[in-house]
Each structure stands twice: as C-alpha cells, then as structure tokens.
Amino acid sequence: MAVCMFCEKRSNAISSTLGVCYACLRERFDQVWPGLEKVHHRSRLPYGLPPAPPREPGGISCNQCVQGCIIPEGGVGYCGIRRVEKGVLRGGRPHEGGLSFYHDPLPTNCVADFVCPGGTGSGYPRFAYSQGPEYGIKNLAVFYHACSFNCLYCQNHHFKEYSIRGLRPVSASQLAAQVDESTSCICYFGGDPTPQILHAIKASKLALSNTRGRILRICWETNGSVNPKYLKEMAQLSMGSGGCIKFDLKAWDQRIHTALCGVTNSRTLDNFKMLAIEAKKRPEPPFLIASTLLVPGLVDQEEVSMIARFIADLNPEIPYSLLGFYPHFHLKDLPTTSRTHAERCREAALAAGLKRVNIGNQHLLGRAYQ
C-alpha cells in the first residue's frame, strides 16, 4: 500500500512509481509534474530513447505526430525510429518498416471484436464473409515497434528494446505480400502506427490493389496523435474497405493523461472529433470505435463519464470498449481492475448517453480494488 507524498493518503490504488493520488494529480498538478516528468525521463533511458522530444535549432522537423520533434544530425525523434542521417529524415518510410507481423485466426481478441465484421459479421455480404464470426478466416496483425507516447503502464513495452538492437526492415511491398486468400483484414497496432504511418499507408494501398475484387478490411489501433493529414488517408482506407479505426482514449483530464502518457491528449481528442463526422457516413459496420483502459485509482467512473459524454455528444452510436488493466511496466504495483470498477464505469458510460458499451478483457478483472 503506497502513500501519496502530498496528502499522505494511503491506498493500494496509488502507485509508488507516481507517488501521488488522483486528487492531488488534479488539484496540485503544477507541484506534482516536475517529479513525474523525471519519472518519464528515467523510464526511457534504458532503451536509448530521448527523454523529451528534441527541439534542436537548425534540425529537421518531423510532423508525423503531436510531439513535433526537430531532430539534429545524428539524432532520433521521441519515437526512437525517426532519425536524421546526412541531412535526410529516415525511419518509418515505405521501404523501411520497423515491425513484426503474424496471422491471427478470426474471431480474435480485438478491441472492436464485439462490433466488427470479423467478430460479428457486421456489414455482410459487402464487408464480411459470413453473417456471424469469420471462422476459418484470418487477420494480418502488424505490430509497429515505435510509439509517440510514453505510457508508464504500457502493456507492450517490450517493443522499446528494439530501439537499441534494431530491426530488419520490412518494406511496404513485402508486408502487403503477406495477405493471402484467407486474409480478410489487416490491423496496425503496436507501439503505435503513427511514427511509421507512411509505411502503413503504402502497404495498405498495395494490399488493396493486390486483392481488388474481394474483401480486405484496413483497421488501426492508435493513440490518435497522428498528423491530421495522415489521419484523413487512414480514414479513407478504412471507410472504403469496411475496416475501422480504434482510438485509445486513455483519460479525459489532461493532467491525468499527461501523468500516465507524458503528453497532452488535445490532438487525440481533436482527431477523434474529425473522425466522428466521417463515422456517420457508414453506420455499419462501425467505422470508429473508442476504448479506455481502466487503471485503478486513476481512470475511474468520473474519467469514463467525461469521455463517454464527449463521445455521445458527437455520436451516441459510436461503440466504446472498457478494458481491464493488468499491472505492468512501471505501474506494476497497482491492482488489476475489479469487476465492480468495470461495471460502475459501464453504467457511467451508458448514463452519459452511449448506446454500445462493452467490457473487454474480462478474464483480467479481479476483486482487489473496488
């Protein structure tokens, strides 16, 4: 049981890494942030990642995400993959993807599986092979080893190790060639596709061209921090193919979001608004899905209620998935999400006006924190 260093509150829902409770994060953020910023900086050093987004006068600007890095010669961006060599911005271009991929049988453990064509048959026959789950069909899962955020509870933090060891580049054409006759969707996740979005867009276009005349959905799981001009291309690819874009809305309060992820959520929320307008053009299968990881002591009913109200004001039909938290990375001392916590958050989301609210990762739900 940790103690808040500011108010001395004791709780098993206070992480010793953060050393501060939810109330103090919101009420004393200016006092709290310098210490939390050091935590974020230290968490990146073992992986050779810049502690903060570079802002080098005379460097080369990378405009792919909210960080807005200005990278010096020989340096790397905040994501660890965008770099400058001999005056040229490299990393994440169409011929040099830093990624892993595998084929995953459908239906799979996808954030959108409760509404997507692969999990439910939504959009049949235009966008799905069957009226129910697509048994016998598979997804090409593409994991990008870079991210524009620095989430202290990252469930896939192992990708950061590759910033030191490096990866054998996979070109967009090589990735597109992995789509065979039994592949009905591609899902880009990670890390996050944002730092390598040029590669993902090129691979998607090639794959769609190679499979013209049959179903191939293009889907994304993202923190939503991408430059809006690239988001428009992502949206076009998903809208036309029957795929979806899954936004991870990690917190509503910017102070909580910054404490957890090291960065503002303003770009994410603005981008979500833009996609919500597009979502009305194709109600089924759902084009835009939101999700939130229920971090004990930090992402509670109040946070979920505000996120849900934001979504409902845009379109109450947008599906929303609440995900169980498992102690990981630098927040290993927090408990798992309790079933009570999850149910209360679902009730709050429904009360805020959303019509399709799901509890995912139910196998992780415990009883430790109420």
Round to whole Å and give the CA distance between 301 and 32.
23
DSSP 8-state symbol, 214: S
Round to whole Å and give the CA distance between 163 and 49.
7
How does pLDDT run across 116-132, given as a tens digit for each residue?
Answer: 999 999 999 999 999 99
Q: What is the largest CA-CA distance in the chain?
A: 63
The strands making up 138-144's β-sheet, listed across from edge to edge, are 99-105, 138-144, 183-190, 217-222, 245-248, 288-294, 320-324, 357-360
Round to whole Å and give the CA distance between 62 and 73.
13
Query: How many residues are given for the chain?
Result: 370
pLDDT at 166: 66
Domains and CATH numbers, the chain: 101-364 (3.20.20.70)
Cβ contact 288:297 at 8 Å? no
The parts of the chain modelled with pLDDT lower than 70 are 163-166, 367-370
- What's the pTM value of the predicted model, to 2 decimals? 0.95
pLDDT at 213: 92
| 254 closest CA partner among 79, 29, 102 | 29
| 183 closest CA partner among 210, 201, 202 | 210
Cβ contact 247:224 at 8 Å? yes
Round to whole Å and give the CA distance between 244 and 128.
13
| 286 closest CA partner among 201, 206, 354, 200 | 354
Distance of CA 111 to the CA centre of its chain: 10
Cβ contact 325:153 at 8 Å? yes
How does pLDDT run across 2-52, given as a tens digit for each residue?
Answer: 899 889 888 988 999 999 999 999 999 999 999 999 999 999 999 999 999
Round to whole Å and give the CA distance between 220 and 137.
19
